[in-house]
Chains A and B, each alone.
Chain A
Amino acid sequence: MRKTIALLLTLVMAFALVGGSVAHADDLIKVGIINLDPSESGYRQANVKNLTDTFTKENGYDATFVTAPTADKQLEAAKGFITAGVEYILVSAAETTGWDDVLEEAQEAGIKVFLFDRMIDCDPSLYTAAVVSDMRSEGETAVAWLESLKLDEYKILHIQGQLGSAAQIGRSDPLTEKCEAEANWTIVREGTGGDSWDPNEARKIAEAAIDAGEEFNIVYAENDGMADGVVAALDAKGITHGTKGDVIVMGFDCNKWALEKLLAGEWNYDGQCSPFQAGVIDEMIKTLEAGGEIEGLNELNQIISVEKGFDATTITQEDIDTYGL
């Protein structure tokens, strides 16, 4: 009996070895992809799905996916990929800083790094290319839209995203700079939904501001979920919002449901943030593998996705179908 088991085990191991070597002999490109947690938001979910749909075996990739919400876990994953000897690492960083050492290590190991969705604060030579949204331009577009309303007074409830993330900094800075520059622009209350861009936290901040008697006529929430949280607080406290209401509601990401609220006139503005970078990176990797050069990068090695902002008064069902996530 014992002998049979031993024999079986040996056979299994032998097959495993053969199987392993067969997979190794395949001509798949080894890629390590580091992303944030898909349950964070509709944006992230669309982003993760886009990547998993693109970097498949059929498409010639042996891809390993890691989704981690914090910087330390992401760095750990990157180090793991370097040890495992992948050919390409794709990163959407939880925080913009702290990546230099790991990226240098990757460069020494001959691994090419692509950044997607979020920028990293480091020397552009440390990565091959960055396919990103210009978060700052998203913020600037939103602020310019606000300015075009020509209100007498801008009293803003500002709900920030994960502090320190490129999305938060890019969307916050144009607003805070504008508020410092103009006398009639004030931030009544500033709060953050935290690392998970928590809509419920946003609701609590808004309720607190309303209960404290603070008056605001604009809600500037840095993603759709948090804008929705604030709207729940407005509804609970009997404050009208949207195109016919007292408070202007602004969100980011362009989830389908959010754009529908725009169409219904419950919200006023939604800024687009494209989560579809996988196709562009796929193309660039294929170019490199064929011995070609990547073209069309700017001085920061970036390729910028083109993005829009939608206004409740002009949005159409067609926009929702095309741009909704």
Chain B
Amino acid sequence: MLKKKKIADFGQLLIPLVALAILIIFNLFRDLSFFSIGMKVNNSGNIVLTGNLISIIDSASELAIIAMGMTLVTAACGGQDISVGAVGAISGAVFVKVLQGMGNITVGTVILAFLLCCLATICFKLFNGTLVAVFKIQPMIATLILYSCGRSIAYWINGDATPQLNSPVISSLGMTIPGIPVPTPIFAVLFVGLLLFLAFKFTSLSLYTQSVGINKGAARLNGINPTLIQLLSFVLLGVCVAVAGVIGVCRLGQLNHKTLLVDIEMDAILAVAIGGNNLGGGKFKLSGSILGAYIIQMLTTTLYAMKVAPVNIKAYKAIVIIIIVVAGSPVVKSKVTALVNKIRTERRASTIQKGVS
């Protein structure tokens, strides 16, 4: 019984793992140097790691972080929050506003600004959460409001088109800390991942979220408060969005309300889907979504490496993603399982026949 459960668990990750393996093998055959990693010294005198692999893991950071939060909301509410990009822009705007207001940029002020960022995004996400959990509005409709006005709010908070933040602290956060060649955003992913992992390990949050997602009524009868769990998922998503927004700002040291984390909601939902999670809520696996995020980025980087023009990349990406999602769909899955079973029984039948003759 235990063994069976393990295989079923692995089944969810099967498609993304296969997709990742195919991408790796494809690149191995295409160009071995794709995997080479180098070390260089940049303008500010810091040693940095370079190479496609570093690019992939680094660039996917915001997506991976938001995908984690999106997985929780998806599992608990059976729908997606499409306002993550816009609220990410608000997060960036608050971050810049606070730092500009305080005048100087030090580690202390950056931490304070980040905490205020979290507070702001949590408030906005609670607004979404209230509409979904209390007023029972479909998540996509409820979050459509902030999706369409979030960037205007970000602009209104800051009132400046492309404010700049020039400080070694900011570039340490967005690029590398002097002396550590690994890009800092990667640590942010590890940090958020670890935080959620510990939360799941030491509380029953994961189980509660799943049961609310599968059947709210049944969860309530078992003493779980579905409204609270759904709101909590939005709060956690808020924290993820705050982190992603701050990383986005620190990467360039400037804020552009219109383009910060633009279109990331679509990629985040895709990452959740590629990870084999049910977009209708219920059972979920964070590792699947994280894997999904890196697959999307690896695909993009591979296409860039093949010198596909940036304008055409979305089209190629779409083709590959359709294949992955269709391969993971219930219809294909059941057909494949049926086929495998059929082959097995036929083989068994033939061996029995052979034994008889």
Q: Residues of A with Cβ closer than 8 Å to B?
A: 37-42, 44-45, 191-192, 196, 198-201, 203-205, 207-208, 210-213, 225, 228-229, 232, 234-242, 245, 255, 257, 266
Contact = CB atoms under 8 A, between A and B. Distances in A.
Contact of A241 (B43, B175, B257, B260): B43
A199 to B, nearest CB: 6
A245 B43 CA distance: 7
B357 interface: no
Contact of B259 (A192, A196, A235): A196
Given A42-B162, A236-B176, A238-B41, 19 more contacts: A191-B309, A196-B258, A198-B262, A199-B252, A200-B262, A210-B50, A211-B52, A211-B55, A212-B305, A213-B33, A225-B254, A235-B43, A235-B48, A236-B48, A237-B40, A238-B48, A239-B42, A240-B42, A242-B43
B161 interface: yes
Contacts of B162: 41-42, 199, 225, 255
Contact of B256 (A199, A207, A235, A245): A199
B161 A41 contact: yes
A205 B310 contact: yes
A39 B51 contact: no
B312 to A, nearest CB: 12
Nearest to A245: B43
Contacts of B251: 200, 203, 232
B12 interface: no
6 contacts: A199-B254, A211-B55, A211-B304, A235-B48, A236-B176, A242-B43
Given A198-B259, A201-B259, A236-B48, A207 B43 contact: no
A40 B48 CA distance: 31
Contact of B252 (A40, A212, A232, A241): A232
B277 interface: no
B59 A207 contact: yes
Contacts of A238: 38-42, 47-48, 50
Candidate in A38, A211, A225, A229 with the most chain B CB atoms within 10 angstroms: A211
Question: Across chains A and B, which 8 residue pairs bring their CB atoms closest together, nearest first?
Answer: A238-B40, A208-B304, A45-B161, A198-B259, A257-B164, A238-B48, A238-B42, A235-B42
Nearest to B251: A232
B304 A192 contact: no
Given A39-B256, A228-B254, A235 B161 contact: no
A227 B85 CA distance: 23
A200 B248 CA distance: 9
B252 A200 contact: yes
Contacts of B41: 238, 240
A14 to B, nearest CB: 35
B346 interface: no
B201 interface: no
Contacts of B305: 208, 211-212
A44 B174 CA distance: 26
A177 B170 CA distance: 39
A311 B268 CA distance: 43
B89 to A, nearest CB: 10
A157 to B, nearest CB: 13
A192 B310 contact: yes
A233 to B, nearest CB: 10
Most A-side CB within 10 Å, residue of B41, B256, B257? B256
Nearest to A223: B162
B206 interface: no
A235 B44 contact: yes
A93 to B, nearest CB: 19
Nearest to A204: B310
Given A42-B161, A200-B256, A232-B253, A211 B51 contact: yes
Nearest to B38: A238
Given A208-B305, A213-B33, A225 B40 contact: no
Contacts of A191: 309-310
B80 interface: no
A205 B33 CA distance: 19
Nearest to A260: B166
Interface in B292-343: 301, 304-305, 307, 309-311
Interface string B58-86: 11000000000000000000000000000
Contacts of B58: 236
Nearest to B252: A232
B211 interface: no
Contacts of B164: 257
A41 B301 CA distance: 28
A248 to B, nearest CB: 13
B252 to A, nearest CB: 5
Interface string B131-175: 000000000000000000001000100001110101000010011
Given A237-B40, A237-B50, A198 B256 contact: yes
B275 interface: no
